Structure 1
Amino acid sequence: MALRNHSTITEFILLGLDAAPHVQALLFVFVLVIYLLTLMGNLMLLLVIRADSHLHIPMYFFLSHLSFIDLCFSSVTVPKMLENLLSQRKTISVRGCLAQVFFVSVTAGTEACLLSVMSYDRYAAICHPLLYGQIMSKQLFMQLVWGSWGLGFLDALINILLAMNLVFCEAQIIHHFSCEMPSILPLSCSDVSRNIIALLCSTLLHGLGTFLLVLLSYVHIISTILSISSTSGRSKAFSTCSSHLSAVTLYYGSGLLRYLIPNSGSPMEMIFSVQYTMVTPMLNPLIYSLKNKEVKAAIRRILEKYFQHIGY
């Protein structure tokens, strides 16, 4: 589909992080540190899962895809944000903005699906431990992962195809640090009713739908944990899903609020966006490594092999 309808305006101005020069310099350092930690943490988790055969099970297969998504999620928005923090004109082309909207939607939608898939995996492991191998077969967990990517891509494609027909004529300023669908729709001087309906359906069906699946899984998980008689048994069962529960809370708590509250350019919108596009991808590797005994054991084994190899 051609982009000729956007010829009236060729670029947008991102004013979400507009501040005094010294403040922008501090923000640049802060954002850069977060981005580098995100890259290092998720790459480390990917390498550990790939290198240690003890982690070649469905739970960590899902986790490796979550780490890859978090890498992509941050890389869609943060590099442009860093560029704008160093430049006088904080601009992004209309084509670039639409591309950013598309990739944010793909990664956000895929992560939502993947988190619900991971909650189902924890449900199968805790509620039906003896049947776990049959329930979570290799064919099923491969289908669940690629189905998550497919749904994320389809959802983003529908919204971006509708957005590519919009005409942007006068308003250029986006009161945000990145391009997201709720931020660009008010800038259009054409009819956006179909876009709003599509976005609302995406948020309700994709966002709330996956959240309800997570919630349903955890209702069964918590019920099963509470029925365990021994305290040590309950503690062990809860520890296997506490990391995932933390990741779900961080992601859905900010993501759903960002897309459900009316777009007004308020600081709260940017706080929610920073939370799920930057902070959550940085924290996920820490959550899954520091709170997970198997990952910590795998890191120790890899380090021991490495030091043995170099002669220490």
Structure 2
Amino acid sequence: MNPNLQETTVHKSSIIYGVHFATSNNLNVLSESVASETAINISHPVARLLHSSEVKNITHTTPEISLVSLEIQTGKQLSHSTISANIVENQNTHTKHVPKAFHTKPHERITSFAPLSNGMFIIACTAHMQNGNFTRLIFINSKKSSGTHKALKVSGFKQENSTLESLIEIKDGKLLGIVSLNSGIPPFELVTIDYKTGKVTYDELVLPDLQPDRRYSNLTQSPVNRKIYATSMGIPMGVHLVQLDMENNSGITGKPLIIKLSELHFENKALASDLLSLAFSPLGKLYAVANLNHQPMNSLFTVDIKTGEMTLVKKLAYGKIAFAYT
């Protein structure tokens, strides 16, 4: 990687990072229902078809990823690097998967992109194939030319073909994730993931219960007050910002609460589909990426947590965003 020296002169809070697949066979398909796997519900460029040559070793290999940094207000690209495909460290780890009854074209999604406290980023990629779903983690260092620090496949799902749909780092270096038990559609549940092994655990922390008929995604944590947020979407349609209240427990279940906050809207219209990404800046401003009207390019918004009002910042060629905190 050859970072543009101008990045050092731009205030960190105004620098946003984005990722996309580096290969050319990206999908440009949007579905109104983010819950439809066969429609491949993530906008270009964080979903792609898999080449036949990639399918054989997909469980042990991470994809080639492009990482960019931009100055938010001007849209000027400050740096760009290509993270090469890598072999996972835990090749011998067993993963649960079963062949699917219905044929789907082999494809892959970037499901999460988040900062880590050590200055690195973590990316989650899920491959959907006829013989099962496979999630891998990529740990990258944006400041070193070597790019990838390590790569792991995710194991330990209690149900076959589960997929990791969102991921953040919480206190003590633990990773908190949202898992779909059904290839990207409800029901969802919260899990912890071992940073060193990629193994999913279900009882390491007491976590909130997720409603079985709602979609949950876009985990993010404020660097100012450490509160954890996500999006929740169900029927009737509408996307709500929710907070995972880890400090107060339900009097019924004894588990932490999920607090429904504002319904997200833009120009007085409620969102009909989920966000593609949600991220806090180092100063605590909340940003979102969405594609509201099946447009050729996604858009970057700021989000008012109290009201749910989204304000357009600019068009953005990336579906997943993050800020560096160190």
TM-score by length of 1: 0.25
Structure 1 or 2: larger strand share?
A: 2
Taking CA–CA contacts closer than 8 Å with sequence separation of 6 or more, which of the two structures ends up with the larger relative contact order?
1
Higher Rg of the two aligned structures: 1
Structure 1 or 2: larger helix share?
A: 1
